[in-house]
Amino acid sequence: MPLPAATLTITEVAERTGLSRDTLRYYEKAGLIDAVGRSASGRRRYAAADLDWIDFALRLRDTGMSIADMQRFAELRRGGDSTTAERLAMLREHRAALTRRIRDLEANGRALDDKIDHYEGLLEDS
């Protein structure tokens, strides 16, 4: 199958995503990224759809989704429309966990603020 006209090299994708070329190769090998198209010389060429998926996978990673769950989600994604309900359930569960984590971080931030206020008060009184 011919590649779309506008594709990017692995170096260009690394620059756009902030991932190293080695990480991009690892993500492909680990099944987090679908097999990437190749040029006639065998070099990886990333299409816009590849970049869209990489961006979303990075969001999953940045929100704390485990590699195993990311692999499961990518596998379901490759399964097409028949896996929509499972993917939705995974995303809902992950969102709920993220919401709990945010709530915990906010509580921890308030505790730190209280301690900062305490120490500032001690310095003002001395």
Q: List the chain pLDDT tens, one digit each, 126 residues.
A: 444 568 999 999 999 999 999 999 999 999 999 999 999 999 999 999 999 999 999 999 999 999 999 999 999 999 999 999 999 999 999 999 999 999 999 999 999 999 999 999 999 988
What integer pLDDT is reported at residue 5 of this predicted model? 60
How many Å apart are CA 98 and CA 106, to the nearest integer?
A: 12
What integer pLDDT is reported at residue 125 of this predicted model? 87
pTM: 0.83
What integer pLDDT is reported at residue 1 of this predicted model? 43
3-state class (DSSP) for residue 34: coil
Nearest to 24 by CA among 57, 73, 63: 57
What integer pLDDT is reported at residue 2 of this predicted model? 45
